[in-house]
Amino acid sequence: MQLTINNLGKEYKRGFWGLKDFSLEIKPGILGLLGPNGAGKSTFMRMLATITKPTDGSIKWNDVDIVKSPDTLRDVLGYLPQDFGVYPNLNAVEFLEYMAAIKGLDAATAKKRIDELLQLVNLKDAAKRPLGGYSGGMKQRVGIAQALLNDPQLLIVDEPTVGLDPEERVRFRNLLSDLSGERIVILSTHIVSDVEATATHIALVNKGQLLREAAPESLLNELEGKVWEWTIHSDDLPALKSKHIVSGTIRKSDGVQVRVVSSDQPKAESRSVSPNLEDAYLYFIGGKQ
């Protein structure tokens, strides 16, 4: 099972590329596609989901070009888009029956699968309630259930935790981790903690370009000796931010403890500390490496 992206590009209007020269090889596990809003993540996901056709390059699923043969991937694809919506007057069972019919599942298979999925996403007790009364997290769980109806080999989820409260976000991340197994899961987000908690591999994206693709440990290793902490006066914080990547601040009684990402020791009193993925994200996305 393999997804191969080679020199992928999408031009929306003359000279404006949402994605450019994007190459990536993806195998089973969770790939965290991490980048700021407008980086090109959703453009990439829509091309993978065969909704949008690329301008350049190719996408191959097990060596089959999905632009030429989209049904090869559609049959094994599960997709939860960023703007996933529900029919508020339907309950979860009715909505999933409708989605199963669209995906071509027969009634008996659909009933069995819906029962399994409602149990999996912990919505069994709320299955007969109208979706209009669901919380954001519950709707997202319905979204994951519809994406899993055909037991997909490739599961794509685009910004799935936006708008969720912290408890629902943790639940959703745990669910994604449980689902990975022998399938490819692609999680697109700008929330570093979502990727940190789930991803086996990370692709950093900005301005339509793939900046880095590596295991989380490799990204952290690259930043060893480049993250520093010390305490400054609060009045000095704006000047520091203008010169360095400040990845964290903590207010204390004697000033502000700052966390800075820099190749060189920024101040004599600064001490080297272990990097985290937030540091790596700001370092590579910020382009100040």
pLDDT tens figures, 216-235: 999 999 999 999 999 999 99
Residue 39 shares a structural domain with residue 112: yes
**Is 87 contained in some domain?**
yes
Residue 191 shares a structural domain with residue 51: yes
**Is 19 contained in some domain?**
yes
Residue 201 shares a structural domain with residue 263: no
Q: What is the CA radius of gyration of the chain?
A: 21
**Is 263 contained in some domain?**
yes
Q: In what order do the strands lie in the sheet with 255-261?
A: 245-252, 255-261, 227-232, 271-272
DSSP H or E stretch at residue 140: helix 136-147
Band (pLDDT 50/70/90 cuts) for residue 45 is very high
Query: Quick check: 31 and 185 in contact, CB under 8 A?
Result: yes
pLDDT in tens, 72-85: 999 899 999 887 88
Residue 133 shares a structural domain with residue 247: no
Q: How many residues does the chain have?
A: 289
In this structure, what token pair is assigned to residue 190? 């700008």
Residue 88 shares a structural domain with residue 205: yes
DSSP code at position 66: T
Query: Bridge partners of 260?
Result: 228, 246
Residue 144 shares a structural domain with residue 180: yes
Residue 119: give its domain's CATH number.
Answer: 3.40.50.300
**Is 260 contained in some domain?**
yes
Residue 182 shares a structural domain with residue 53: yes
pLDDT in tens, 173-204: 888 888 877 899 999 988 898 888 889 999 99
Residue 69 shares a structural domain with residue 107: yes
Domain that holds residue 268: 225-273
DSSP code at position 215: -
> Could you give the maximum distance between any two Cα atoms of the chain, in Å?
70
**Is 285 contained in some domain?**
no
56 contacts: CB under 8 Å, gap ≥ 6:
7, 8, 9, 10, 11
Separation of alpha carbons 61 and 59, rounded Å: 7
**Is 278 contained in some domain?**
no
Query: Quick check: 219 and 280 in contact, CB under 8 A?
Result: yes
Residue 189 shares a structural domain with residue 268: no
Number of domains in the chain: 2
Beta-strand (E) ranges in 131-244? 154-158, 184-189, 201-206, 209-214, 227-232
Residue 129 shares a structural domain with residue 254: no
Identify the pLDDT of residue 226: 95
**Is 17 contained in some domain?**
yes
**Is 16 contained in some domain?**
yes
Identify the pLDDT of residue 162: 77
Nearest to 276 by CA among 202, 174, 176: 202
Residue 263 shares a structural domain with residue 194: no
